A and B are shown apart, each in its own frame.
Chain A
Amino acid sequence: MAAVQTDQVTLTINGQSVTVPKGTLILDAAKKIGIDIPIFCSHPKMAPVAVCRMCLVEVEKLPKLQPACAVYVADGMVVKTTTEQVGKYQKDVLGFLLINHPLDCPICDKGGECPLQDQTYQYGPGASRFDFPKAHFDKSVPLSDKILLDRERCILCWRCTRFSEEISGERELALIQRGTNTIIGTFNDEPAQSNYQGNWTEICPVGALTSRQYRFISRPWDLDRTASICPACSMGCNIQIDARSNRIGRFQSRENVAVDDSWLCDRGRFSFPNFQRQGQERPRVRRNGSLEEVSYEEAIAFTADALKHAGGQVAGWASPADTNEELFLFSRLFREVLKSAHLDHRSGVVADAEPDDIALPIADIERCDQVVVLGGQGVIDAAPVLHLRLFKSERKGVKILKVGVTEGKRALDAIPAEAQAIGILATEADKQAAVDLQAKLAKKVKGSVRRLIVTTGPNGRGAKDLGILPHQGPGYASLNGRAGRGRLQWPGAGVKGLYVHESSPLHGFVPSDAESMWLSTLPLVVFHRFKASPLDEVAHVILPGHAFTEKYGTVTNMEGRVQRIRRGIDAEWVREDWRVLQQVANALGASWAYESVEEITGDLVRELPPYAAVNQEARVLWSEST
């Protein structure tokens, strides 16, 4: 047989043959064929360190056991992971790890989802022969207002310190002292500042780093877990809503390599208290100056009647945290039923001229050779997980230029003409500067120049795509001169009624001073919302709606990826928002007959074919579909 030069190597693990690319670790090759090798320090996103020694396996021809997490495969390698020697050693290392571990599992938040606990059951010795006093360390050390550190539970796997060094680049956590006295800590015990601390609790293989918000909240087996999307910003990080007894206990990450790369920022992770429901609430309508509880039917009839009086002079504001399905119905209610074009989802004036369908996908930041962050920290603050992607890219050799919004020229001068792939990141408010820089760079360099605009809210991009804008219809369709007025113009535009729909206190309708004056004079304010806000005081109708975490639907992130959110909490007494919108429309003469969210999604895709991307949770691409 002719020798073929190949990048694949074939090895044998426990008698099974497996072929993997060169540069694969034994651990990953084993995983590929379903062989589990226990680990603590190894983490797929971090460089191997081989400090915990849990993964030692036999490799033929090598005298010593080898760490599967740090040794790369070689052609013809013969690996054994279940021999007597390996099994005995696994017992030994777990025995070592446990001699100074407090074994306070019954009161540990990690108990039940703890790799140390699980692997002790699976691979460990049944009992310890260590009968000396354990080494004692500080427990419940506040690392910050978010995180507690238990130094006794810590097994010094280095995952958190490596996260701090390799993933966030902040180097906030470090190892202090040495030997059995080694502890994790911050410089001078100062509070940790990182915006990514919650990730420490997830990568910690024991209960050493725990969340203060989740402290003593639940046992993992009592949690109902729901796959959803983070409500905090337009990044669209995938989360898991962990709820106990219908209360949210925490948000956990749920890896999507295209979006979040398995990380969350603290702003998103710890935003869940905003979505806790305070109690049951019924619709209310204002009669003789005060709000009275009524049935949904009564409130809907009241709303429809009042909207009919306002006619085409009613304005609608839907939050950039609404689902695409809600926005689709909201848009139809206004455009088709009320014949009003006064639609908006924005809080200020933002140029929304283009669909950004040639946007730089988030994951492609890693494949650029130069990335301009136009607006510097402002961009990171708008979507904090972007920092992790940028830092990862920088470690891979991508040049990252952080410049002020007005300093585009600096970036233009710094980028060489031979650059192959350039990315520009900017917030929506600075979109024009990004567009200008993009044009100038496109003239200067040979390669591609793409931009990624950080939109507002978890579905600001969807709100634009679906035409919750006064000057553009769904799919950025021209309105042929029949444009409506935007939010900032409403106070002086003769608007006779306002319908506000929101499902997240993070992206609610917050009136400006000018709007507050105007709102109190409006003859009709319909407030269809999840949580009470000052707007309640001027509302004529309050329609309770579901929170972002209580509903099913789709949202579109900054790069145009359509992802599903799911019901993490049941609030059955609240009528679904889409159903209320449909009932209002039907009371005004429409004849919609949606039975489910899926049916609305179906109609949405029929009207806007690029949204067929929803089926693959892929990106919406407008230009390719037309």
Chain B
Amino acid sequence: MAIKPLVTKDFATENLVQLKVYERTGGYTGYKKALEMQPDALVEEVKKSGLRGRGGAGFPTGNKWSFLPKGVYPRYLVCNADESEPGTFKDRYLIEKSPHQVLEGILIASYAIGCNLAFIYIRGEYLPQHDALETAIAEAREAGYIGKNVFGKGYDIDVILHRGAGAYICGEETALLTSLEGYRGEPRLKPPFPAIKGLYGKPTVVNNVETVVNLPHIVNNGADWFKSIGTPTGAGTRVWCMSGHVNRPGNYEVENGTPIRELIEEHGGGVWKNRKLKAFQPGGASMMVLLPEHLDVGLDFDAIAKAGSLAGAGAMVVMDETTCMVDAARRYVKFFHHESCGKCTPCREGTFWMANIFDAMEAGEAKPADIDLLLEIGYGIDGRSFCPLGDASTWFPRSVIKFFRDEFQQHIAEKGCPFKKQPQEAVA
């Protein structure tokens, strides 16, 4: 399938971070065009484009916008740049390469929903990206894109950039809002949904960085053009963060529907060290593992879901034949245990328990019954926890047990990790 970079098409341009350069590539024309439109028409246009949220859940962006209750102001737009899932680094790339594109997307979304104050919640560790955005906001304010009565259109907009403090849970939209308000980052009870009662109790839209960067292009080229890219239910492209055992890890923007094989083999240069592919994980740390037999599945929300995993935040973690799948699952489970906010019982205690079992597994101290116990703990967490963090902590380990139960049995029988016995396989 032809490669059509969309949001990254100008990323090779030197000094794209500067406003003048960004403008030269056509920057802010989408925003200017949007300001000529009625906000409702803009929402309709985005609805028609079929743009789905790129944060992980894939919810149609235009629909999300239209859930805001009529006539309730102020309302807020919050751009979620708290990218913290292991294996994801697309937002970082999008921000550092073209902060103005992110900002333009935010301004278009804000105008569409009638928001006069937008927020960017950026992961605390993303300091250079924070600085890039800060500079971009200052430049945009200077140029009159942000401020009172933008271009004499009677529209006021300001943008506040806020750094997180290092909690993965704050990427969950309600926890993000709670953190933004200055409280402990913990998810909130839904309903009410943020669209009804979000930031400071006001109607709020939370959109991912990759979602908003698509907006200038949709406005410039029209919904029909956008819809023509990708698949019928997955319009557009995605920026895939590829990592793990590939020759060329990095961010690659591909059209939705592109086979996974193409991403790994052509873009990524295939599995490194001439090894065989053992498994891969699309979507990020939480998503279920897929096998070489799934290589021809298209990179698309629905196709990946049909294959038994989820596209999530667009991370592609490639694992070669030397990978200990038990250890891979152990690392992820320990990540979720570490990041569990502790609000609800199943996630707080269940991830602790799973982490203990996985440690025992790697140390060769596990019992045969522990494999099924892991599945049962997973059952006790998934769908029962307060927010998706708990659910997600179980998906990868359960899928690994499903496909690689023999590796668990081997750990138990051999009282230790069979992969660590091969000295040359010290995989970072």
Contacts and interface: CB of A to CB of B under 8 A. Distances in A.
Interface in B321-372: 337-346, 348-353, 356-357, 360, 369
Contacts of B357: 132
A51 B347 CA distance: 10
Residue in B339, B343, B353, B386 with the greatest tally of chain A CB atoms within 10 Å: B343
Nearest to A50: B189
Interface string A529-553: 0000000000000000000000000
Contacts of A56: 384
6 contacts: A53-B345, A70-B189, A92-B376, A92-B384, A180-B342, A181-B342
A132 B383 CA distance: 25
B132 interface: no
A180 B380 contact: no
Q: Is the interface of B mostly helix, strand, loop or mixed?
A: helix
B420 interface: no
B189 A49 contact: yes
Nearest to A182: B342
Given A56-B384, A178-B184, A180-B340, 14 more contacts: A53-B344, A64-B383, A89-B384, A93-B380, A96-B346, A97-B349, A99-B353, A129-B369, A156-B343, A156-B345, A175-B342, A178-B167, A178-B341, A180-B352
Contacts of B339: 179
Contact of A92 (B338, B348, B369, B380): B380
A499 B379 CA distance: 74
B119 to A, nearest CB: 23
A156 B342 CA distance: 8
A327 to B, nearest CB: 52
Contacts of B338: 179
Interface in A161-179: 175, 177-179
B21 interface: no
Contact of A95 (B189, B341, B342, B380): B380
Interface string B181-201: 000100001000000000000
A182 B344 CA distance: 11
Nearest to B373: A129
Residue in A48, A70, A95, A175 with the greatest tally of chain B CB atoms within 10 Å: A95
Interface string B277-288: 000000000000
Contacts of B352: 99-100, 135, 179-180
B380 A51 contact: no
B348 A179 contact: yes
Nearest to A98: B349
A178 B341 CA distance: 5
B182 to A, nearest CB: 13
Give the bracket for the number of chain A residues in contact with chain B: 20 to 34
A439 B386 CA distance: 54
Contacts, number: 92
A2 B107 CA distance: 51
A96 B380 contact: yes
A218 B369 CA distance: 42
B178 to A, nearest CB: 12
Contact of B343 (A48, A51, A93, A97): A51
Residue in A49, A65, A135 with the greatest tally of chain B CB atoms within 10 Å: A49
Q: Which 8 A-B pairs have the closest CB atoms?
A: A92-B380, A182-B342, A96-B349, A132-B356, A179-B340, A179-B342, A180-B352, A64-B383
B381 to A, nearest CB: 8
A178 B344 CA distance: 11
A130 interface: yes
A53 B384 contact: yes
Given A48-B189, A130-B353, A175-B184, A180 B384 contact: no
Interface in B9-45: none
A147 interface: no
A52 interface: yes
Given A51-B343, A70-B189, A182 B348 contact: yes
B345 A155 contact: yes
Contact of B350 (A63, A70, A96): A96
A126 to B, nearest CB: 15
A371 to B, nearest CB: 25
Contacts of A175: 184, 342
B63 interface: no
B345 A96 contact: yes
B135 interface: no
B345 A93 contact: yes
Contacts of B340: 178-180
Contacts of A130: 353, 356
Given A96-B353, A97-B349, A99-B349, A53 B385 contact: yes
Nearest to B341: A178
A92 B189 contact: no
Contacts of A51: 343-345, 386
Interface string A49-62: 11111101000000
A156 B348 contact: yes
A54 B380 CA distance: 11
Interface in A139-171: 155-156
Contact of A53 (B342, B360, B373, B386): B386
Contacts of A49: 189
Given A96-B353, A99-B352, A179-B337, A50 B342 contact: no
Contacts of B356: 130, 132
A394 B380 CA distance: 40
Nearest to A155: B345
Contacts of A50: 189, 344, 386
B383 to A, nearest CB: 5
Interface in B374-415: 376, 379-380, 383-386
Residue in B337, B345, B356 with the greatest tally of chain A CB atoms within 10 Å: B345
B13 to A, nearest CB: 42
A49 B190 CA distance: 10
B388 to A, nearest CB: 11
Contacts of B349: 96-97, 99-100, 180
A604 B256 CA distance: 88
A495 to B, nearest CB: 64
B384 A97 contact: no
Contacts of B184: 175, 178
Contacts of B344: 50-53
Contacts of B342: 156, 175, 177-182
A97 B386 contact: no
Interface in A45-92: 48-54, 56, 63-65, 70, 89, 92
A97 B350 CA distance: 9
Contacts of B189: 48-50, 70
A570 B65 CA distance: 70
Nearest to A176: B184
Contact of A132 (B169, B341, B360, B376): B360
A52 B167 CA distance: 21
A50 B386 CA distance: 7
Contacts of A65: 383-384
A180 B348 contact: yes
Interface in A1-59: 48-54, 56
